[in-house]
Amino acid sequence: MKETIRLFDRDGYARSFTSKVISCEALEEGSFRIVLEETLFFPEEGGQSSDRGKLNEVRVKDVQSDAGVIYHYTDRALEEGETVQGEIDWEHRFSHMQQHTGEHIFSGTVNRLFGLNNVGFHLSDQIVTMDFDGVLTMEELETVEWEVNRAIAENVEIRVSYPSHKELETLEYRSKIEIEGQVRIITIPGHDVCACCAPHVKRTGEIGMLKIMTVQNHKGGIRVSILCGFRALRAFREKTKIISTLTNMLSTSQENLPIQIEKQKNRIYALKGELGLAKQKLMEYRIEKLSPDQANVLLFESDLETVVVRNTVNALVKKHDGICGIFVKKEDGGYQYILGSKNVNCKEIAALLREKLAAKGGGSEAMIQGSVEASREEIEKVLG
């Protein structure tokens, strides 16, 4: 099939177009794959998700390419030979343009200042991530972020070119893969020169701003998540709402928020310790009331920390000759348990629980622990 004419290469700002339907193939029920003579719809390529929009009134759900042919996936059929009016989702396209151009400046700045290469890129409707083949400190990343926003403020014009093979031999540019055929170069003067197939903004000022969101170690290097333009504005609004909610809850200022949260954290930690001691004393009081002649002791509780359960089971084992254990009710049903004995092989008990109740867990001959999705009556029947 003849390659699709890529109208977005000519004008990344065009929003509508007219084209002829070359083919329409029915896939699974309610899904169709359409090829047009020419299209403004950018397919999923180079780590970037595809455009979306409409052909006439038919929704375009996804766009893919193979061997130069661009396929539009829709929820309704179109007639072969029909002339259609295409309309891309401009807000979605422009957001992608802001993110992608911001990524170019960021990756170019990292390469220029620190010599690291962008070895992975992903741009979806939610996230923008870049993978670099080395590690940068937070101070270095903040330097990059500042320089990128300085480049945005400069409002530099972005150039698109198609160099000949001879020109490419002497041109220094970034590229993550070997490219066959015509190479499309995106030049941001003073900041980056990179091979790229995607639409970009005309001037850096249209990016608005760039903000690093997260940084994590990844395959010996780092993965950096960024947001640009309106996505960054939305993220800042959400963070502002969260901070405002917390400052109101704690009756403090934004500057003092970390201090107040640390105080609350320490107070909660202290209260948990006090509560744990109180629960331990309560369990000690309860087991003192048990008759030493009782061989098996199975207690069913709720909201007990593991350390309290273990200490209590150890105390029960010293006092009683049979199977001693505590079953703590889980929020979603069933129980977490710890069982011990000085005379009974607990591994055999674990095997019995697995056989009869499909319990999970294991341990030693002296003590086992795990979980079981069963009622108290079912457990007591098996172990009673």
Q: What is the pLDDT of residues 297-306, one digit of tens each?
A: 999 999 899 9
| Separation CA 343–CA 153 (nearest Å) | 77
Answer whether 94-244 and 286-383 agree in fold.
no
163 burial (CB, 10 Å; 0-12 / 13-18 / 19+) is middle
Would you say domain 94-244 falls under CATH 3.30.980.10? yes
Q: 46 pLDDT band (50/70/90 cuts)?
A: confident
**Is residue 80's pLDDT more than 90?**
yes
CATH class of 286-383: alpha beta
For the cut 90, the answer to whether the pLDDT of residue 220 exceeds it is yes
Q: Mean pLDDT, to the nearest integer, of 279-292?
A: 92
Question: How far apart (Å, rounded) are the C-alpha atoms in residues 36 and 350?
Answer: 65
**pLDDT for residue 67:** 92
182-187 contact pairs (CB < 8 A, 24+): 184/9, 184/160, 185/160, 185/161, 186/101, 186/104, 186/158, 186/159, 186/160, 187/158, 187/159, 187/160, 187/161
Q: Please indicate whether residue 256 or residue 292 has the higher confidence score (pLDDT).
A: 256
In this predicted structure, the answer to whether residue 179 has a pLDDT above a threshold of 90 is no
Domain ranges of the chain: 5-88, 94-244, 286-383
Whole-number mean pLDDT of the chain? Answer: 95
Per-residue pLDDT band at 30 (split at 50, 70, 90) = confident
CB 378 within 8 A of CB 360: no
- The average pLDDT across 113-137 equals 96
Q: What is the pTM of this model?
A: 0.79
Q: Which CATH architecture has domain 5-88?
A: Beta Barrel (2.40)
